Chains A and B, each alone.
Chain A
Amino acid sequence: MSSILIKGGRILDPSTGRDETGDLWIVGGKIAKSGRKAARTIDAKGMWVVPGLIDIHVHFREPGGEAKETIADGCAAAVAGGFTSVATMANTGHPVETAMAVRYVRDRAAEAGLARVFPFGAVTKGLRGEELAEIGLMAKAGAAGFSDDGHPVMNSEVMRRALEYAAMFGKPVVSHCEDAHLTKGAAMNEGPVATELGLRGWPAVAESAMAARDAMLSRWTGGHVHIAHVSAKETVEVIRAAKAAGARVTAEASPHHLTLDDQKLRGYDPRFKMNPPLRSAEDVQAVVAALADGTLDCIASDHAPHGTEEKEQEFAACPNGVVGLETTLGVILTDLVAEGKLTANRAIEAMTVGPARVLGLPHGTLAAGSAADVTIIDPGRKWKVDPAKFRSRGRCTPWEGRTLKGAAAVTIVDGRIVFES
Chain B
Amino acid sequence: MARPPKGPAAWTRRHLLGIRELTRGDLDAVLSLARKLKKTPPSAPPLKGRRLLTFFVESSTRTKTSFGIAARRLGAEVVDVSPVGSSLTKGESLNDTARTIESMGVDFSVVRHPASGAPHHISKAVRSSVVNAGDGANEHPTQALLDLFTMEEHLGRSSGLRVALVGDILHSRVARSNLWAHRLLGNDVTVVGPATLIPRGIEEMGATVTHDLDSVLGTHDVIMMLRLQLERQQAGLFPSTAEYARLFGLTRERMSKLRKGAIVMHPGPMIRGWEISSEAADGQASVIQDQVANGVFVRMAVLMQLGDAR
Contact = CB atoms under 8 A, between A and B. Distances in A.
A268 interface: yes
Contacts of A194: 199-201
Given A196-B205, A317-B115, A268 B200 contact: no
Contact of B121 (A191, A192, A200, A268): A268
A313 interface: yes
Contacts of B135: 198
A268 B199 contact: no
A267 interface: yes
A316 B139 CA distance: 15
Contacts of A199: 116-117, 136-138
Interface in B112-138: 113, 115-118, 120-121, 135-138
B201 A192 contact: yes
Nearest to A200: B137
B227 interface: no
A283 to B, nearest CB: 14
A135 B153 CA distance: 71
A197 B200 contact: no
B173 interface: yes
A268 B136 CA distance: 13
B121 A315 contact: yes
A311 to B, nearest CB: 11
B94 interface: yes
Contacts of A190: 200
B226 to A, nearest CB: 14
A201 interface: yes
A165 B85 CA distance: 50
Contacts of A20: none
A197 B116 CA distance: 7
B120 A267 contact: yes
B93 interface: yes
A293 interface: no
A156 interface: no
B250 to A, nearest CB: 24
| Interface-central residue, B113, B121, B204, by most chain A CB under 10 Å | B121
A195 B199 CA distance: 6
B176 interface: yes
B93 A316 contact: no
Contacts of A267: 120
Contacts of A312: 93, 95
A268 B120 contact: yes
Interface in A302-350: 309, 312-317
Contacts of A268: 116-117, 120-121
A86 to B, nearest CB: 32
Nearest to A266: B20
B200 A198 contact: no
B138 A313 contact: no
Which secondary structure dominates where chain B touches chain A? mixed
Contacts of B20: 196
B78 interface: no
A267 B135 CA distance: 13
B93 A198 contact: no
Which secondary structure dominates where chain A touches chain B? loop
Interface string A193-228: 111111111000000000000000000000000000
A200 B94 CA distance: 20
A312 B138 CA distance: 19
Interface string B129-158: 000000111110000000000000000000
A114 B121 CA distance: 39
B58 to A, nearest CB: 13
Given A199-B116, A268-B121, A313 B204 contact: no
A195 B204 CA distance: 9
B270 interface: no
Contact of B117 (A191, A192, A316): A316
A85 B173 CA distance: 47
A159 B118 CA distance: 39
Nearest to B175: A198
B135 to A, nearest CB: 7
B205 A195 contact: yes
A195 B202 contact: yes
Contacts of A195: 199-202, 204-205
Interface string A273-317: 000000000000000000000000000000000000100111111
Contacts of B94: 313-314
Nearest to B135: A198
B85 to A, nearest CB: 19
A77 to B, nearest CB: 26
| Interface-central residue, A190, A197, A198, by most chain B CB under 10 Å | A198
A198 B138 contact: yes
B304 to A, nearest CB: 27
A318 to B, nearest CB: 9
B201 A316 contact: no
B21 to A, nearest CB: 11
Contact of A191 (B120, B136, B200): B200
A315 B94 CA distance: 11
A400 to B, nearest CB: 15
Contact of A315 (B93, B116, B139): B116
A315 B117 contact: yes
Interface string B176-209: 1000000000000000000000011110110000
Given A268-B121, A312-B93, A196 B176 contact: yes
B200 to A, nearest CB: 6
The 5 closest A-B pairs by CB, nearest first: A192-B201, A268-B117, A198-B138, A198-B137, A195-B199
Given A197-B116, A316-B115, 16 more contacts: A190-B200, A191-B201, A195-B205, A196-B201, A196-B204, A198-B139, A198-B176, A199-B138, A267-B120, A268-B116, A313-B94, A314-B121, A315-B115, A315-B116, A315-B117, A316-B117
Interface of A: 187, 190-201, 267-268, 309, 312-317
22 contacts: A192-B200, A193-B201, A194-B199, A194-B200, A194-B201, A195-B200, A195-B202, A196-B20, A196-B176, A197-B117, A197-B138, A198-B116, A198-B136, A199-B117, A199-B136, A268-B120, A312-B93, A314-B94, A315-B117, A316-B116, A316-B117, A317-B115
